[in-house]
């Protein structure tokens, strides 16, 4: 079995410790971070966002070491400039209208094109890259993985609040991001050449200037031989990030293993998968999703357990059994959204929710 390397990117909020509101770090964290982290830390469109990313990791143990180190370092960098770091898909009460955009030609172009959709996109996600042997294999794997995206998304849901309101969603982040074009569950493609022809057509017709402006929940990266998962909210704890990434890697390995045995996993249409994605956004782990094979609703937690059974036979070869087993802990304690809502219902204070998020962000470091 190939190595299936990993790369993990996390987007963090920079918080004023007094007001608990988002606050611009004015590149202080990024510039200070480049001394020790080089290109592993960078600014994002809004000045209150900081992103860190691992290098290529050869296994989940190495990924855990890097994710933990990067979180620790960005928290230390924030402390030095009087800020706190928070990991969640949205801020509980901060208004996007109050957050300045980072001066950058690339961001200026996006704002010019997408206008209010871009300015209001004050959301935070976790992206995971899994390395593959070639792009044709990547398209094959991407087609199959689409079915499992709502399962992974449900585990990550961590954005129940928006601009001071309880939204009723476990992930409102995805509803905000859907305002962008070329988002959501991807289509099915017959080959890498068909996928590349689609990108070329969009470039030729002026829809995009490069393939990175395809913002699907899962994409074959336009420049690297990786599958990139983009559907997840930013998890609270490093343990949650690592566990979800481990399952993502295991799914790729499992699909590869089935293909090498001339076995296929049934492909489902985008319109059906979207039904499960909506349920995951609305209810997280507490709802039901559709088992399309049985044509019936099944509790989401049961489907997560079925997913763990599905990948079980590749975990030891990947060396990721310990990390994947943490999913059982996540099922027991609830998602980040569940835990945020619990704090809010106990305190009726969104500032206390921010304090909780900040505390969880450094948990286990």
Read off the CATH number of the domain in which 316 is found. 3.30.590.20
Q: Answer yes or no: is 245 within a domain.
A: yes
Residues spanned by the domain of 164: 6-361
Tell me the residue ranges of DSSP E strands in 110-239. 125-131, 161-162, 165-166, 183-184, 215-216, 218-220, 226-233
Model pLDDT, residue 26: 64
Q: Answer yes or no: is 129 within a domain.
A: yes
Model pLDDT, residue 227: 95
Q: Answer yes or no: is 49 within a domain.
A: yes
Model pLDDT, residue 35: 62
Model pLDDT, residue 183: 93
Q: Answer yes or no: is 101 within a domain.
A: yes
**How far apart are alpha carbons 156 and 172 in whole angstroms?**
12
The reported pTM is: 0.95
Q: Answer yes or no: is 1 within a domain.
A: no
Q: Answer yes or no: is 311 within a domain.
A: yes
Q: Residue 257: exposed, middle, or buried by beta-carbon count in 10 A (0-12, 13-18, 19+)?
A: middle
Q: Answer yes or no: is 169 within a domain.
A: yes
How many structural domains is the chain composed of?
1
pLDDT along the chain (365 residues), means of 10: 94 96 81 71 79 95 97 92 96 91 80 85 95 93 96 98 97 94 93 93 93 93 91 98 98 96 90 96 97 93 97 97 98 98 98 98 94
């Amino acid at each position: 079995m190939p190595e299936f390397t990993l790369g993990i990117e996390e987007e963090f909020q920079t918080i004023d410790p007094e007001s608990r509101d988002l606050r611009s770090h004015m590149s202080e964290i990024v510039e200070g971070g480049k001394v020790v982290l080089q290109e592993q830390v960078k600014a994002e469109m809004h000045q209150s966002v900081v992103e860190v990313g691992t290098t290529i990791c050869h296994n989940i143990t190495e990924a855990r070491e890097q994710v933990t180190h990067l979180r620790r370092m960005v928290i230390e960098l924030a402390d030095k400039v009087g800020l706190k770091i928070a990991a969640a898909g949205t801020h509980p009460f901060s208004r996007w209208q109050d957050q300045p955009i980072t001066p950058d030609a690339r961001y200026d172009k996006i704002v010019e094109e997408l206008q209010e959709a871009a300015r209001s996109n004050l959301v935070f996600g976790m992206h995971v890259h899994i390395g593959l042997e070639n792009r044709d294999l990547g398209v094959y794997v991407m087609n199959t993985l689409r079915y499992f995206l709502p399962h992974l998304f449900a585990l990550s849901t961590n954005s129940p609040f928006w601009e001071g309101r309880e939204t009723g969603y476990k992930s409102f982040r995805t509803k905000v991001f859907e305002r962008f074009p070329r988002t959501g569950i991807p289509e099915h493609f017959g080959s890498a050449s068909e996928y590349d022809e689609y990108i070329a057509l969009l470039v030729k017709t002026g829809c995009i200037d490069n393939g990175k402006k395809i913002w699907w929940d899962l994409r074959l990266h336009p420049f690297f031989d990786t599958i990139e998962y983009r559907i997840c909210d930013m998890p609270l704890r490093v343990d949650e990030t690592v566990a979800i990434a481990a399952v993502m890697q295991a799914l790729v390995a499992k699909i590869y293993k089935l293909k090498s045995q001339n076995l296929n996993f049934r492909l489902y249409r985008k319109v059906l998968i979207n039904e499960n994605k909506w349920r995951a956004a609305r209810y997280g782990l507490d709802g039901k999703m559709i088992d399309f094979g049985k044509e019936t609703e099944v509790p989401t937690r049961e489907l997560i357990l079925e997913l763990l059974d599905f990948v079980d036979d590749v975990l030891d070869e990947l060396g990721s059994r310990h990390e994947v087993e943490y999913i059982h802990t996540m099922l027991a304690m609830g998602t980040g959204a569940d835990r945020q809502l619990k704090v809010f219902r106990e305190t009726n204070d969104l500032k206390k929710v921010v304090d909780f998020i900040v505390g969880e962000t450094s948990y286990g470091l």
